[in-house]
Structure 1
């Protein structure tokens, strides 16, 4: 036995049927040269117990699908996860997930399995995606032993990339909603925020096409170039 083997987390306690479902999840597709309209996108938003990347937990998952150039309301996802021992911080005052809602939630492994079957091989979009990507990836590893490797694009970067005339750098989702005068009925719970992000992304896809960025791969490449320029030291 390795000296440090006792430090490793045990594999998730999945039964045979659950393990088979994990093994049957399709591998993610790399972003390609099809049109933006032809690509199926999953827009996701998470509510968490806090903002600590290593300690806090996913409490709920909301997601909508963009396909054929529109939000497909027949493809919606929402789950609250049961977290028996999670201490809630003041963020519950924003997303409204109190102890009773979390106590009535789904088994985390089941909820996460359902979500990844919903995602399939599609790329993911989120506002401030690095946080959602990290938290979702850790939850999947802890509950399913699954490594998240889907393309995950950040709408918070795509918006200023495609709208350089906007003077709202480092803006939040509410700022972009106001900038484009979107009519959003609800905010600050996972499914409503995913829908608001999707509506924003439809406008951004239109902007991308106007700028001759009409494939997922072209958008990803332009975004990577833009981020590198932003991070380059100025002299």
Structure 2
């Protein structure tokens, strides 16, 4: 049973932004295009969201974890972690999804402020995420609902990049844990937004190293190869 299911029936009314928040929103930079800049020069933000469930239309973002990749390395001094303030009226289990207790949600940051601060952190980045379409849809809806902001940043899905670049792993539809084990990464903490973002960032660096050895030297080339790989995979599935 989803302990947050009742949230689907709660109407959401956007809290008006302050003048200061409006000015901050207007200052957010436009997203970077997928161009020919080298991968090492591209600014990536690795994103992981904890949500109340998997329904793209009803569930909500509970927390955000993000890690910055810049100059070809993880910048451990610049990470983002935030729990959003959510008022729960009914709780059916003492330990909730992802271990986020109702008290932590009650103490969280006001959603509009949290999302605005996150987009200031993200800047003009390219986003990376594991199963990126889900995070992209959830973040897009949250930003529209809370800020009236239209997310246009490009996303790359590590869940697709990994099997494309490492076909010898024979893992087409594997989870993040499988790739952590495959690359023998030491990740003592999991299933927490910031920890999962860090794990995804470590894998991304391995993938970028392999991409460059395959002469995929920028996000434009990587995106084109990924599109071709997806079309080939879909065609093979249809032929089965």
Q: Which TM-score applies when normalising by structure 2?
A: 0.89
Q: Which of 136, 139, 143 is the aligned partner of 2:139?
A: 136
Partner of 1:4: none
Alignment of 1:67-216 (within 5 A): 67-85=70-88, 93=96, 95-216=98-219
Whether contact under 8 Å (1:12, 1:145) holds in the other structure is no
Q: Distance in 1 between matches of 2:144 and 2:15?
A: 8
**C-alpha distance 11-78 of structure 1, shift in aligned 2 (>3 A):** closer
Deviation at 1:11, TM superposition (A): 6.5
Q: Considering fraction of residues, name the structure with more helix.
A: 2
Q: Secondary structure at the match of 2:64?
A: strand
Deviation at 1:23, TM superposition (A): 1.2
How far does the alpha carbon of each residue in 1:52-88 deviate from its partner, in whole angstroms, 9 at most, with x for none? Answer: 1111100000000111111101110000000114766
Partner of 2:9: none
Whether contact under 8 Å (2:88, 2:102) holds in the other structure is no
**C-alpha distance 93-175 of structure 1, shift in aligned 2 (>3 A):** farther
Structure 1: runs of 5+ lacking an equivalent: 1-8
Q: Which TM-score applies when normalising by structure 1?
A: 0.91
Segments ≥4 residues shifted beyond 4 Å? 9-12, 86-90
Aligned residues: 226
Structure 2: runs of 5+ lacking an equivalent: 1-11
How far does the alpha carbon of each residue in 1:17-40 deviate from its partner, in whole angstroms, 9 at most, with x for none? Answer: 111111111110111111111111
What is the alpha-carbon root mean square deviation over aligned residues?
1.7
